[in-house]
A = this chain, B = another copy of it.
């Protein structure tokens, strides 16, 4: 099969369709990564690097500021929603198919601008990475942050996650802990010989049920927190007093806290319980006080929202780089069978980003 090479300079809807139709479910990004690399390699204003299925393209215009624009190549599994198709709704054209929203529309904008912005008021680093939709340990951007943090350095990072073409600033942190109770097994007909570990979980559930989530203002944005049981299990058989019960709790915390502070808070909530941290990821501050962020927000000209949910912006925040979510596509449609993006909005994002990247800096 002779692969069609991506045409980055094509009309953005056409480019998006090409990208969407190269299936790239997590773990199978190679074909698309190859195409991205080849399509960018022909442009002399870009210096390319590749690490597995991570592609980095950098300009060297000699500008005082640098902006990273990053997006992931992978999608969640296809559910009969490929190849893509166009549809019209109320006079607007939509591209329907897996990945249109999350986040190949963003990747199309990246590719088009990477190829066409042969000059800009800021130096640019375009990052395309793999395995965002699976376990954090596989995340390509995470691997890059460990192996080559120098390639991620910038004054601002824009992550093209779907945000309906609005700026979603920062992100919540997330901490998952397991609370365990330990009992003594016995036949339930002689329960007094045992100790019921499920009963011992009563206090932990009472604390959760009574907990009211905080809303924390950071840079004027309201980050709503949440402390939720996300799993519970215990029990051996219908006639056995259980000797163990496990409660899994997820704390989504505002960017005013570090992971350590979040853990301390959860330990206070479950004081007296056996508690183990299963995984954690830091929050990212919106960083609206930074002049370059303010400049971008002003250029977008729409209200800034806090990001609910953890995204890879936190990886930049950890490196001290202000980072925003900004991309085409309605986040509510991500991962759905009917995933679809309005082509108007993709163009809008592209134009907005192009305008800001070429406008005088500072």
What residues make up the interface of A, taking CB atoms closer than 8 Å to B? 172, 174, 176, 187-192, 196, 198-203, 205-206, 208-209, 213, 224, 226, 228-242, 245, 247-248, 250, 252, 278-279, 308-310
With A198-B229, A240-B230 in contact, do A308 and B235 touch (Cβ < 8 Å)?
no
| Among B174, B192, B228, B245, contact of A232 (Cβ-Cβ < 8 Å) | B245
Contacts of A205 in B (CB 8 A): 198-199, 201-202, 205-206
Judging by beta carbons under 8 Å apart, are A252 and B202 in contact?
no
With A198-B232, A206-B202, A208-B202 in contact, do A226 and B192 touch (Cβ < 8 Å)?
yes
Count the copies: 2
The complex places the Cα of A174 from the Cα of B237 at a distance, in Å, of: 14
Judging by beta carbons under 8 Å apart, are B242 and A229 in contact?
yes
* Chain A contact surface mostly: mixed
- A343 CB to nearest chain B CB (Å): 27
Contacts of A187 in B (CB 8 A): 308-309
Contacts of A239 in B (CB 8 A): 174, 230, 250
- Beyond A198-B231, A198-B232: 19 further Cβ-contacts under 8 Å? A174-B188, A176-B238, A189-B226, A189-B309, A189-B310, A191-B226, A196-B228, A198-B205, A198-B208, A198-B247, A202-B202, A202-B206, A202-B208, A205-B205, A230-B237, A231-B234, A231-B238, A235-B248, A238-B248
Contacts of A278 in B (CB 8 A): 238
Judging by beta carbons under 8 Å apart, are A234 and B232 in contact?
yes
Judging by beta carbons under 8 Å apart, are A191 and B232 in contact?
no
Judging by beta carbons under 8 Å apart, are A208 and B213 in contact?
no
Judging by beta carbons under 8 Å apart, are A191 and B213 in contact?
yes
